[in-house]
Chain A
Amino acid sequence: MSGAMSKEEGLRFSEVNQEILRTLQAPGRSYWALLSLLFLFVLFAGGVWGYQLRYGLGVAGYHPAGMWGVYLVNFVFWIGIAHSGTLISAILYLFRARWRTGISRAAEAMTIFAVMIAGLFPAFIHLGRPWVFYWIIPYPNQRFLWPDFQSPLMFDVLAVTTYFTVSLLFWYTGLVPDLAAARDRAQGLRRKLYGLFAMGWSGTDRQWHHYGASYLLLAGLATPLVISVHSVVSWDFALAIIPGYHSTIFPPYFVAGAIHSGLAMVLTLLIPLRKIFHFEKIITLDTLEKVAKTTILMGLIVGYAYAVECFIAWYSGNIFEKQSFLFRAFGYYAPLFWIMCFCNAIAPLAFFWRKVRRNIYCLFVIAILINIGMYVERFVIICGSMSHDFVPHAWGIYWPNWVDITITIGSFCLFLFLFMLFAKFLPSVAMAEVKEDAGPPLRRGGVYAR
């Protein structure tokens, strides 16, 4: 299969390096302009956060009974984004799905940045007293105080930190041989830096031996983690008793949703990347098509989850469940609900048509739609459910105000900022793996394929 692929694409074993390391050449002016623009807005958002810190959370648009606003929505959204990376690099690696090689590196980078940003929200931006956020961290302290390991938020702390560490190490492991390659082609400071991070990798047989064993294990360990992390995140809600939160379908539903949004984000980022860096040979249309196909599956799962929620609301016979669903579907936030249904469950079905799957623009548009849909879904669940819970007297409608919105946009800018840095300063495609796919040449002709 890899043979076929390399024939098709005609990217030969010997070309891989310069093809990919091309991207590390000095960027143009427009790149810097965009980068600094993003950076400036991140700074501004930071300033707004400082303002919130100074005067209290009240400056944001919170409206009880809804105690959680878009900050938590952002958290769940970014964690969701973070999923595809490890999914693609780990799970598909185990499944020997070769088409992943072109996109795995970028996807993993996406994961890392997404988790970093996701972590900012519950730990700093969303907290009432962020200056004591470290009270959640379980370590022996002079205060003789400990966190409560029963709290879903503690699960979060454990799960997210673990997930971040694991993805980071996994990513770095994959990166080392490529860093070595970059090192060998760079000069001066760059060479020193790449050399530093390559740790003096020289591709000896013993290095490859242990490396290979470890990489497989990492993939194996990361796989259950991917599933677990978003299940844990979903417990922030499923373990609560609020109608609209309290539902056993949440873990699978959230995981599917996460992968859904993650894949969409992969498409959103890679399609431009592919265009800009002329990666058509590496990130092939087949690859994108494969992603699209997976998206159909996820879309169907999410759609199923929506349907089940509706069914349970009726079947449970519980007045709170029923009313909270009716409110969700026909109440104040109804438009959002229907947007979410369309974007997440209906739109991806278009990928059933090969034409759509293989049309870059359709892919891009639908990916964007899914991103929007998934963000809205989180809003509908988190904010929508809270605004109508048990006690009617306490009901209240929440909308984000300028503070919430600025900080949210800030988080998106930070994400793009980091991703752009990555694309320009690190090999954005796993060379060693691409080489494996291309296969080293044989004297008797053809390429070696195991």
Chain B
Amino acid sequence: MRVRPCGEVVFMHGKQGLLAIFMYVDDLFAVLRKFKEQATRIETVYSPLRLREIDEILGKKPSIVRFITLLGGILGGTGMVALAVYAHLSFRLITSGKPVFPRVPWVIVCFEGVILLAVIFSVCAWVLKGRLPRARLAPAYELRFSEDRFGVLVSCTDAEREKVRAILETSGAEEVRDVSW
């Protein structure tokens, strides 16, 4: 069965390729490795769960999210302390015989600031870096991908199409179909 996600029309950008759907994860890995050797362009790999092995096979660099998070932390810490300092300097009052500019409380202020902004940055980071949010799902998306099936989308020219299709089918894909986007 081939339900179009959300059932909306698919725009043609002229790019096209093949989508193979796998049930067994080892088949998936095998295919991915093969394509990597042949330097075939793997557009997307769909998976219902996170598989670190996929990242390894595709040879992804460590995610930029980590640095964005760090940045958020630094900004948050300094920012919150700056706010507190500004507040106390612009509203000079003595309480409990402590000076207008006390040292100790800044520790807590800073700590909370770090965590808060780091987390916010981190979440924004994965959302945006994951090309989200998006109104429509990719034409290649299959509802099964959120359940128990894996998918590989390979872009290919009409020339290589048959070769690729052969590889896919031999390596245990349940189903292979043309996709264009």
Contact = CB atoms under 8 A, between A and B. Distances in A.
Interface of A: 13-14, 16-17, 138, 144-150, 154-155, 158-159, 161-162, 165-166, 169-170, 172-173, 177, 180-181, 183-185, 195, 199-215, 217-218, 221-222, 224-225, 228, 232, 432, 435-436, 440-444, 448, 450
Contacts of B115: 162, 166, 221, 224-225, 228
A373 B158 CA distance: 72
A184 B145 CA distance: 9
A206 B108 CA distance: 36
B147 A14 contact: yes
Contact of B130 (A158, A162, A207, A221): A207
B6 to A, nearest CB: 7
A169 B90 CA distance: 34
B149 to A, nearest CB: 9
B137 A202 contact: yes
The majority secondary structure among interface residues of chain B is: helix
Nearest to B109: A149
B125 interface: yes
A73 to B, nearest CB: 23
A63 to B, nearest CB: 27
Contacts, number: 205
B55 A209 contact: yes
Interface of B: 5-6, 23-27, 44-55, 58, 60, 62-66, 69, 73, 80, 83-84, 87-88, 90-91, 93, 95-96, 98, 102, 105-106, 108-109, 111-113, 115-116, 118-120, 122-123, 125-127, 129-138, 141, 143, 145-148, 150, 172
B50 A432 contact: yes
A205 B45 contact: yes
B105 A150 contact: yes
13 contacts: A145-B91, A147-B87, A149-B109, A166-B115, A201-B130, A202-B141, A203-B145, A206-B131, A211-B130, A217-B65, A217-B122, A222-B119, A448-B26
A443 to B, nearest CB: 4
Nearest to B104: A150
A195 B101 CA distance: 50
